[in-house]
Structure 1
Amino acid sequence: MDLTDRAPRRIQRERKKGWRLPEGAVIVTRPTRWGNPFGVGELVRQTPDGYAKSYAGRLPPGLYTAEDGSPFEIRPVADRADAADLFRVHLLRYPALLLPPIRQHLRGHDLACWCPLTDAYGNPVACHADVLLRVAAGQEP
């Protein structure tokens, strides 16, 4: 089996001498078009349906009610899994706009991000690149 016969995978970028991005791989970190807008520790304004937007306002973290009576929460992004899930929900909010370019440009490519592939115990670490790989393969986020 050669490289063209395997499914695209996530690659962890490295900052060490001699490391090179594999041929055909696409970088999906910030600030590229494919980067996750939700960073660990950054504030988001999230509605009960799970949809969130980056938040740079003055309200501290907490539960609030909008002028129209709808609830929302200001909270920090907890961890990489939370960031990847927020990204997934974001893609589901605008599928007709966001999914076709991912499928067109990323299908068949390995995707490179800074997130580690596994934790200290060998368990997979969540990353938005995993979401992009599913979408690029024609699946739902």
Structure 2
Amino acid sequence: MPARLQRRRTKGWRKPDNTVIVTRPSRFGNPFTLAGAVEWLGAETPEQAREACHMAFQSWVRGSDQWWMGPEAAATRKRLLDGLHELRGKNLACYCPLPEPGQPDHCHAAVLLTLANPT
């Protein structure tokens, strides 16, 4: 079963086999930023900002224009969705911290895992 991994910038960290990096600026990066979540959505903590970005990404990637609209948003979403097959069966790596056991995963990579690997 594919999993979400935390990408690291530490010396010696290597991307594991069967893993795709989904950070910005990859085609799979989350267009919603933590700074934007603080500025426009009123997030007050890093966790609130991650949750807001996750929520906006999940809504947007599934077709909502509530968070980002216009030709650029539609083209970016289409490009991402057209590439989902590349993620099927792969682990996904992002810089977001991994959740504690039993806690929800507020990373866009968790959304991508679900979309790329439907049950």
Shorter chain as normaliser: what TM range? 0.7 to 0.9
2:58 maps to which of 88, 95, 115: 88
Q: Describe the superposition over 1:82-112 as per-residue Cα deviations: whole angstroms up to 9, x where unpaired.
A: 1011111111116x9353421x110000000
Identity %: 45
The answer on 1:76 being equivalent to 2:41 is yes
SS of the residue corresponding to residue 93 of structure 2 reads strand
Contact 1:84–1:128 (Cα < 8 Å) also in 2: yes
Contact 2:41 2:52 in 1 (8 A): no
Instruction: Report the CA distance shift for 1:37/1:21 in structure 2 as closer, same or farther (over 3 A).
Output: same
Paired with 1:131 and 1:112, the residues of 2 have a C-alpha distance of: 12
Match of 2:91 in 1: 110
Alpha-carbon distance between aligned partners in 2 of 1:37 and 1:114, rounded to the nearest angstrom:
14
Greater helix share, structure number? 2
RMSD: 2.6
Partner of 2:67: none
Letter aligned with residue 11 of structure 1: L
CA distance in 2, matches of 1:122, 1:19: 26
Gaps (5+ residues) in structure 2? Answer: 44-48, 64-73
Question: 1:77·1:83 contact (CA, 8 Å) conserved in 2?
Answer: no
Cα 1:86–1:13 change in 2 (3 A) is same
Secondary structure of 1:42's partner? Answer: helix
Q: Which stretches in structure 1 are left out of the alignment for 5+ residues?
A: 1-6, 45-60, 62-74
Structure 2 residue aligned with 1:134:
114
The answer on whether the counterparts of 1:80 and 1:125 sit within 8 Å (CA) in structure 2 is: no
Query: Which structure's CA Rg is the greater one?
Result: 1
**What is the CA distance between 1:8 and its match in structure 2?**
0.3
- After TM superposition, where is structure 1 displaced by more than 4 Å over at least 4 residues in a row? none
Count of aligned pairs between the two proteins: 101
Q: Which has the higher contact order (CA 8 A, sep 6+)?
A: 2
**Structure 1 residue corresponding to 2:28, chosen from 27, 34, 41:** 34
Deviation at 1:129, TM superposition (A): 0.2
**Structure number with higher strand proportion:** 1
1:36 alignment partner AA = N
